[in-house]
């Protein structure tokens, strides 16, 4: 659907918008990122441009930087860059706190609001450290995705049946079943013999779970949990998309104010005073 969109198209869109908007122009990866950040920035001061992909966002910023275009910046998912000691490639590009926007909402009190909305209190209380339980459940998935990206394995995660490897009552992940499910789903049976050893090797070192775990994986496990471990919803009633939307809508400006990303954006504002991003406080009196 968006095959015609590349970094040149995104950069051209930003340049064309300058004719009608003198303020900041913020590039984000996707539509859900746009919804998330529109609730946090002043959209009268800062217009948001959807790049339809991380590479498009970064490539567009390179093009804009090369032509000394002022007032543009980008926010992209950190993905595994922080774990691999990679900083944002340009000074006007910023990473999310954690793996992605979904992990930012998951790490915030928005999670407790969503649990209160969709979960049953008695069942939720049976998991004294539910956030930690969910991160532990998503850990092997995070490592598999990292391996696939790093070593170009071509594993497919979209459309996985999480109930094949997630215990619906304890939320524990059976790693052998996880590997079989991912290999079968990816039609990558040639990896069957070496993938367990590769996974064990990369798991040997400790990594920050908020950077390791993909937000969508965590949400998919949470969708399983709301059907038995945390609630009694039907599979069709509680979808990952619904949970992701609920987390975004439950995320407050005050939560964002305590993030490193917000601090970086505030610093960018100070250094680019002609291009404010956030609402200005009204003078007293």
pLDDT digits (tens, 9 = 90+) for 243-253: 999 999 999 99
55 near 27, Cβ under 8 Å?
Answer: no
In this predicted structure, the answer to whether residue 282 has a pLDDT above a threshold of 70 is no
**Whole-number Å distance between alpha carbons of 177 and 17:** 50
In the three-class reduction of DSSP (H, G, I as helix; E, B as strand; rest coil), residue 238 is classed as: coil
Instruction: Number of helices (H) and strands (E) in the chain: give both, helices first.
Output: 14, 4
199 near 144, Cβ under 8 Å?
Answer: yes
pLDDT digits (tens, 9 = 90+) for 30-85: 999 999 999 999 999 999 999 999 999 999 999 999 999 999 999 999 999 999 99
In this predicted structure, the answer to whether residue 179 has a pLDDT above a threshold of 70 is yes
pLDDT of residue 56: 98
Question: How many CA atoms are closer than 13 Å to the CA of 241, on its beta-carbon side?
Answer: 6
For the chain, domain boundaries: 7-97+259-271, 103-250
In this predicted structure, the answer to whether residue 20 has a pLDDT above a threshold of 90 is yes
Looking only at the bridges linking them, the beta strands covering 46-50 and 72-76 are unpaired
Cα–Cα separations (whole angstroms), residue 216 to 14, 178, 202: 29, 16, 21
pLDDT of residue 1: 54
Q: What are phi and psi of 193, to 5 degrees?
A: -80, -35
């Amino acid at each position: 659907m968006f095959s015609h969109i590349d970094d040149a198209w995104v950069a051209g869109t930003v340049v064309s918008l300058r004719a009608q908007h003198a303020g900041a122009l913020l590039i984000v990866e996707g539509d859900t990122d746009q919804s998330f950040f529109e609730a946090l920035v002043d959209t009268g001061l800062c217009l948001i441009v959807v790049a339809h992909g991380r590479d498009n966002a970064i490539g567009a910023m390179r093009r804009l930087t090369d032509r000394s275009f002022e007032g543009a910046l980008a926010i992209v998912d950190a993905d595994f860059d922080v774990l691999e000691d990679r900083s944002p490639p340009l000074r006007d590009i910023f990473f999310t706190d954690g793996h992605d926007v979904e992990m930012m909402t998951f790490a915030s009190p928005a999670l407790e609001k969503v649990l209160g909305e969709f979960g049953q209190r008695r069942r939720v209380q049976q998991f004294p450290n539910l956030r930690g339980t969910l991160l532990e459940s998503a850990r092997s998935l995070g490592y598999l995705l990292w391996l696939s990206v790093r070593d170009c394995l071509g594993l497919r995660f979209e459309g996985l049946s999480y109930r094949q490897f997630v215990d619906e009552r304890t939320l524990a992940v059976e790693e052998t079943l996880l590997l079989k499910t991912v290999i079968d789903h990816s039609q990558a049976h040639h990896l069957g013999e070496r993938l367990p050893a590769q996974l064990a090797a990369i798991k040997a070192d400790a990594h920050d779970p908020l950077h390791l775990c993909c937000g969508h994986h965590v949400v998919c496990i949470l969708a399983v949990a709301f059907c038995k471990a945390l609630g009694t919803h039907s599979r069709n009633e509680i979808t990952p998309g619904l949970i992701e939307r609920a987390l975004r809508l439950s995320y407050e400006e005050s939560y964002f104010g305590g993030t490193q990303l917000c601090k970086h954006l505030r610093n960018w504002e100070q250094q680019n005073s002609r291009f404010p991003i956030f609402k200005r406080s009204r003078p007293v009196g």
